[in-house]
A and B are shown apart, each in its own frame.
Chain A
């Protein structure tokens, strides 16, 4: 086991990317992702990382470069946040359609109007249906581990799909905490060299990204969806082997104190740890509370989610984004959908909080718990979501 060092999560994330001997990094700096890109640029500049760092003029170009380099067979990385993701949006949808195994770190940040640089999940929820594998990390160590995991899964020839690794902006990116680095032997054991399924090659001309006429588009999309669904078994295998290499074990859905729990919180990302403290406090008072953490967002782990909440009477879904004029929080909407028609389906109560980095403490989660108990005394509809702590 390596020694834990005190380091900023962004720097560790960049070091993890560098440890894969990435070939191409194309990114444009944007808060709160900046330190990741800056550090990679430094490593390339210092000669510590033998990669092409392509300082593009926009995120649209960043993802365009990534598609080109990945199609040419290069291990490819990019990183963005919020408005940057919005600007690259057009190309984000193309990467999985072309089965290009790009890895992107998304340092989650609010979408503007009004301008905000702080953390929530409105950026990633805007591309929910982009076709990438999407995972969430809860701590600096998880970010580090999941950089290696993301390359491993994306480049698995049986998967060949891009991966988005989500980490909460500031709450994770700007925190110094203990992180255990992998040694080069562990990286080598876990992550094979990238052997692309198909590459652009002047000697063997192929077309990547051809026109999809109505006669073939539906089939192409069905194949893409199938590829994403099928990626799950390779994702599970990649987590299993990660556990064998570094002794840390990850699952698509993780639970804490759910045994006998009548009310379970459901979280994504870094707030899981803070909510765990609230749940422990509630348990200490004799309240049957539990916690379910969704790590894998796409492909959605339906079975694991259903198993995790089975027996609960109510779920408190914490959303950090809004589906305006729709169903409240996008995560709650997915959870309801995943559980619809299940026997003894738990009531889903939905709290939107932590927008633009507003601090949410264990005490707040306990207040949500109490509110959820009150709400579920009568029937709760999808329109009954709560903007927690909003001043009106």
Chain B
């Protein structure tokens, strides 16, 4: 079972990212679970969402404490929230940042494998909005192909309708541009 924790700010679509991943995995015949950190929605406040993907039915109905992957949608959260808390030793931190992996690693003392992409720039250029949820999914799949990239197309189209093309383009560009930095 792969456990993914997503960090973002209310309104940035962390929950949507978790949902899209789960839907893609289920469509591929796997089992998956996606859920928000339960509570009142607060636009702008740091929020967490969770996603589990497995070949077996998933019975665990708790938050995720020892993720395999952590996805950070908003770079400002890196300094606010302990995003790496509980991340498995071989886990990967995937983040939106304008800095390079080595720069960020040095500044924040990150010891895990780090995947960086400037998702805010990509989203602004491609979508016209700094909403990075679909963009960051590209970086996540670069870090670890938890589902095949093609499997996300149908859920993206269903979710975004006529603006799906742009979201798919942003997702694909982030996949290309994400850089893996190993410790």
Residues of A within 8 A of B (CB): 4-8, 31-32, 117-119, 170-171, 174-178, 270-271, 273-274, 276-277, 357, 359-362
Contact = CB atoms under 8 A, between A and B. Distances in A.
* B interface SS class: mixed
Contact of B26 (A4, A175, A270, A359): A4
Nearest to B24: A6
Interface string B14-35: 0000110011111100011111
A163 B121 CA distance: 53
A6 B27 contact: yes
B60 A177 contact: no
A176 B22 contact: yes
Given A6-B25, A117-B40, A177 B59 contact: no
Nearest to A32: B38
Contacts of B18: 176
Nearest to A175: B35
Given A170-B38, A174-B38, A176-B33, A270 B25 contact: no
Interface stretch (B61-69, B101-109, B160-168, B172-180): B61-69
B36 interface: yes
Nearest to B25: A6
The 9 A-B pairs with the shortest beta carbon distances in the complex, nearest first, are: A6-B26, A273-B59, A6-B23, A170-B38, A176-B34, A175-B35, A178-B26, A361-B62, A176-B22
14 contacts: A6-B24, A6-B34, A7-B23, A32-B38, A118-B38, A175-B33, A175-B61, A177-B22, A177-B31, A177-B32, A177-B33, A178-B32, A274-B60, A361-B65
Interface of B: 18-19, 22-27, 31-36, 38-40, 58-63, 65, 155
A273 B23 contact: no
A32 B24 CA distance: 25
A171 B35 CA distance: 8
B62 A274 contact: yes
Contacts of A118: 38-39
B39 A117 contact: yes
B159 to A, nearest CB: 11
Contacts of B27: 5-6
A277 B36 contact: no
Contacts of B61: 171, 175, 270-271, 273-274
A174 B40 contact: no
A388 B182 CA distance: 42
Contacts of A175: 33-35, 61
Interface centre among A118, A270, A361 (most CB of B within 10 A): A361
A276 to B, nearest CB: 6
Contacts of B35: 170, 174-176
A360 B19 CA distance: 23
B32 A6 contact: yes
Nearest to B35: A175
Given A273-B59, A274-B61, A277-B60, A176 B38 contact: no
Contact of A176 (B19, B40, B62): B19
Contacts of A117: 39-40
Contacts of B60: 273-274, 277, 362
A361 B23 CA distance: 25
